[in-house]
Amino acid sequence: MRMKFFAIMAVAAVVPTFAFAEDAKPTKADVDKVVKSIQADKAKTQQYCDMMKAYDDAAAADDKKDSKAAQELSAKADDLGKKLGADYEKLMTSLQKVDPSSKEGQELSSALDPLDASCKK
C-alpha cells in the first residue's frame, strides 16, 4: 500500500491542476470506474503494472541511496501514468485531497486493489 500512495503522489505532481474543481474529492464509484476502464484494456493494464513496477524499483533504488536511478525510474513511471488517460490522472490528483490514513483513504486505496491484483497474474 505504501507504493500505491507513492505512485498517487508522483503522478498527481505532474498532472495539470486546471482540470479539476478546487474541492473535488474522489468517491469509491470514481475509483471503480477508472479501475474497470483500465482492466477492460489489456494494454492499459500492462502499462499500469509497468508503472507500479517502476515505482517499486524507484523505491528500492531510493532505499539504496541511488537517487539518480530513483529519479529516472520515477520519471519513467510518471510517463506511464500519463498514458493511462485523463480519467486516471484526474483520479490521482483528486486522491491527493484524501488523507491516506483515514477510513476514506483506506477505502479508496482498497478500491485500487483489483488493479494491483491484475499485475500478480
CB 35 within 8 A of CB 19: no
Residue 99 has pLDDT above 80, yes or no: yes
C-alpha 62/C-alpha 58 separation (Å) is 6
Residue 20 has pLDDT above 70, yes or no: no
**pTM, entire model:** 0.78
What are the pLDDT digits (tens) for 74-98? 999 999 999 999 999 999 999 999 9
Residue 100 has pLDDT above 50, yes or no: yes
